[in-house]
């Protein structure tokens, strides 16, 4: 059996090596390292793929979130609601801009922001909601857009983990994750579903005015060279990363299908096993949770492990040379940087529980059946012993 990896970037690279190498060398030969033609072409190709009017490339996914919030003109004191169970980047940029993060609990079935919790958290100061499409599964955007419309709030999708996922609304409309809210951010960090070979990110919006504002913000607040109309930042995707992304974008659907296939095989093996809850969503009619449904692109395949010492399972997997991860081990509302006396523990029941139960198994485009069989039998033997 091939050695199991959490993410197999090398294996994926082998299939696209010729195109990547020649494109990267072309950029070097051209010396158009910053804002070269590769960046512009990638932007156009991604707009087309997502069905979104504007893609603004930037330096990373954290910048993308921050720039989206700057573009919306959010001001110190404005409250921004987001999920307690996510990567810290989301809450970090809210705090950095002097906005007030309002963390809320998540749903135990799909791990995404809890709709009722959003409603309870709205105050006259609330300006925006940031749903995170966690682990590759699109949040309940119908409900979130409805709440936002009712309360005149912006919706910023943190799409760092769900690029390529398709969301089907109640009325049957299909949209790509990141094309639904007022603005969205994504990350091209190497291990993301569409990863480059360094740092990268982008902001998406269908709003022409907002796109114009954001294009200035990423470039030191300049709309005319050396005229600084607003306080901006320096946040660019470099041409070498754009060349890598252009080589990978045509394969994104195939990559996500490979992830879904692996997820389906995992979920089939875990079906009916006591003490294991496989990932799921609300919109699927398929047999194995959301493993066959296009609103999930499995950035992570994350189980809940019940009545078992999760940390002992992690140790056991590692002893068997099965890498795994605990995303995330600590709720954001309990992180020192984000403590807030207004938070009450009884409002974070789900996150407090999930951090003790979750384990993410190897997930990438190169997993084979033999590896998945070994992983699932090792997990099952441990939790049922
Ligand atoms: C990765 C990630 C980010 C940050 O992206 P970077 O490119 O690493 O800055 C933000 N939000 C979520 C949910 C992420 O997973």
CB 161 within 8 A of CB 300: yes
- Nearest atom in ligand 1 to the alpha carbon of residue 86 is 13
Tell how far CA 30 is from the center of its chain: 33
Nearest atom (ligand 1) to Cα of 134: 13
Mutate to test the pocket of ligand 1, among 189, 233, 297 (most ligand atoms within 8 A of CB): 189
Measuring CA to CA, which residue among 56, 92, 135 is closest to residue 303? 135
pLDDT of residue 286: 58
Summarize the confidence of residues 368-377 as an average pLDDT: 97
Tell me the backbone φ, ψ of residue 71, rounded to 5 degrees: -60, -35
Give distance in angstroms: CA of 215 to centre of ligand 1: 20
Average pLDDT, the chain: 95
Q: What is the pLDDT of residue 202?
A: 98
At which of 224, 250, 276 does a domain end?
250
Which two three-digit tokens encode residue 278? 């496989």
Shared domain check, 233 and 91: yes
* Residue 155 falls inside a structural domain: yes
Take atom 2 of ligand 1 and give the residue whose Cα is closest. 160
**CB within 8 Å of 268: residues ≥ 6 apart:** 288, 291
Work out the average pLDDT over 350-371.
97
Q: Look at residue 172 in the predicted model and tell me its pLDDT.
A: 87
Contact 105, 114 (CB under 8 A): yes
Residue 291 has pLDDT above 90, yes or no: no
Q: Which two tokens stand for residue 239?
A: 């041409």
- Out of 219, 250, 281, pick the residue that ends a domain: 250
- Tell me what pLDDT residue 125 has: 98
The answer to whether residue 3 is domain-embedded is no
Widest CA span in the chain = 68
Predicted confidence (pLDDT) per residue in 79-120, tens digit:
999 999 999 999 999 999 999 999 999 999 999 999 999 999
Tell me what pLDDT residue 284 has: 58
Residue 273 burial (C-beta neighbours within 10 Å; 0-12, 13-18, 19+): middle
Query: Does ligand 1 lie within 6 Å of residue 87's CB atom?
Result: yes
**Residue 4 is assigned to a structural domain of this protein:** no
* Residue 172 lies in domain: 9-250
Q: Which pLDDT does position 229 carry in this prediction?
A: 93
Residues 119 and 268 in one domain: no
Please say if the pLDDT value at position 375 is more than 60: yes
For residues 262 and 239, membership in a common domain is answered with: no
User: Angle, to 10 degrees, between the axis of helix 9-30 and the axis of helix 37-50?
Assistant: 130
Asked if residue 187 is part of any domain, the answer here is yes
Measured in Å, residue 363 CA sits from the centre of ligand 1 at 17
How high is the pLDDT of residue 280?
85
Overall domain count for the chain: 2
Say yes or no: 215 and 267 in one domain.
no
The pLDDT of residue 287: 58
The DSSP H or E segment spanning 313 is helix 310-319
In the structure encoding, which two tokens stand for residue 381, read together? Answer: 């033997």
CA atoms 292, 297, 298, 303: torsion sign: negative
- Residue 257 neighbours by CB under 8 Å, 6+ apart: none
Tell me the three state secondary structure of residue 296: strand
Q: Ligand 1 pocket check: which of 83, 160, 360 to mutate, most ligand atoms within 8 Å of Cβ?
A: 160
pLDDT in tens, 252-289: 999 999 999 999 999 999 999 999 999 987 765 555 66
- Residue 227, domain member (yes or no): yes
- The answer on 309 and 168 residing in a single domain is no
Name the 3-class secondary structure at 244.
helix
Q: 256 and 363 in one domain? A: yes
Give the whole-angstrom CA distance, residue 157 versus residue 170.
19
Q: Is the CB of 144 under 6 A from ligand 1?
A: no
As a dihedral over the C-alpha atoms of residue 256, residue 259, residue 66, residue 43, rounded to 10 degrees, the angle is -20
Question: pTM for the complete prediction?
Answer: 0.96
Task: Encode pLDDT of 62-77 as tens digits.
Answer: 999 999 999 999 999 9
The alpha carbon of residue 93 and the mean position of all alpha carbons in its chain are separated, in whole angstroms, by: 15
pLDDT digits (tens, 9 = 90+) for 213-242: 999 999 999 999 999 999 999 999 999 999
Pairing of strands 227-228, 222-224: antiparallel
Per-residue CA distances from 345 to 29, 82, 90, 129, 351 (Å): 57, 16, 21, 21, 10
Task: Say if residue 229 is in the same domain as residue 296.
Answer: no
Same structural domain, 308 and 167 = no
Residue 2 lies in a domain: no
How remote is the C-alpha of 129 from its chain's centroid? 15
- pLDDT tens digits for 187-206? 999 999 999 999 999 999 99
- Answer yes or no: do 356 and 300 share one domain: yes
> Shortest CA distance to 298 belongs to which of 269, 272, 329, 327?
327
State whether residue 106 is helix, strand or coil: strand
Measured from the CB, is residue 46 less than 6 Å from ligand 1? Answer: no
Residues 264 and 232 in one domain: no
Q: Answer yes or no: do 57 and 28 share one domain.
A: yes
- What would the mean pLDDT of 26-41 be, rounded to a whole number? 96
* Residues 270 and 150 placed together within one structural domain of the fold: no
- The pLDDT, as a whole number, for residue 152 is 98
**Quick check: CB of 61 below 6 Å from ligand 1?**
yes
CATH number at residue 255: 3.90.1150.10
């Amino acid at each position: 059996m091939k050695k199991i990896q959490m993410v197999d970037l090398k294996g994926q690279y082998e299939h696209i090596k010729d195109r990547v190498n020649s494109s990267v060398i072309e950029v070097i030969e051209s010396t158009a390292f910053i804002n070269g033609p590769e960046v512009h072409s990638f932007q156009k190709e991604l707009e087309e793929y997502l069905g979104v009017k504007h893609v603004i490339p930037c330096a990373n996914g954290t910048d993308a979130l921050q720039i989206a919030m700057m573009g919306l003109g959010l001001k110190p004191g404005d409250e921004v609601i987001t999920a307690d169970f996510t990567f810290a980047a989301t809450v970090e940029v809210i705090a950095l801009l002097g906005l007030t993060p309002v963390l809320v609990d998540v749903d135990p079935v799909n791990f995404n922001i809890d709709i009722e919790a959003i409603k309870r958290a709205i105050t006259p100061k609330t300006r925006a909601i940031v749903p995170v499409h966690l682990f590759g599964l699109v949040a309940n955007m119908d409900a979130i857009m409805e709440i936002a419309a009712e309360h005149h709030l912006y919706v910023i999708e943190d799409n760092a983990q769900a690029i390529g996922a398709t969301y089907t609304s109640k009325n049957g409309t299909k949209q790509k994750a990141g094309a639904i809210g007022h603005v969205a951010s994504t990350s091209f960090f190497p291990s993301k579903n569409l990863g480059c070979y360094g740092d990268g990110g982008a902001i998406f919006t269908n709003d022409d005015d907002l796109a114009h504002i954001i294009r200035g913000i990423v470039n030191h607040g300049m709309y005319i060279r050396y005229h600084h109309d607003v306080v901006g930042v320096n946040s660019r995707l470099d041409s070498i990363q754009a060349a890598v992304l252009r080589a990978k974008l045509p394969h994104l659907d195939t990559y996500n299908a490979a992830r879904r296939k692996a997820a389906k095989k995992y979920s089939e093996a875990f079906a009916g096993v006591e003490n294991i809850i496989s990932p799921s969503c609300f919109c699927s009619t398929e047999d194995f949770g959301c493993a066959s449904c296009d609103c999930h692109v499995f950035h992570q395949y994350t189980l809940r492990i019940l009545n078992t010492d999760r940390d002992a399972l992690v140790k056991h997997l590692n002893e068997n040379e099965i890498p795994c991860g605990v995303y995330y081990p600590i709720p954001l509302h309990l992180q020192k940087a984000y403590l807030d006396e207004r938070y009450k523990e009884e409002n974070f029941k789900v996150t407090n529980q999930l951090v003790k139960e979750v384990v993410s198994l190897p997930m990438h485009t190169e997993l084979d059946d033999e590896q998945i069989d070994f992983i699932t039998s090792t997990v099952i033997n441990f939790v049922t012993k």
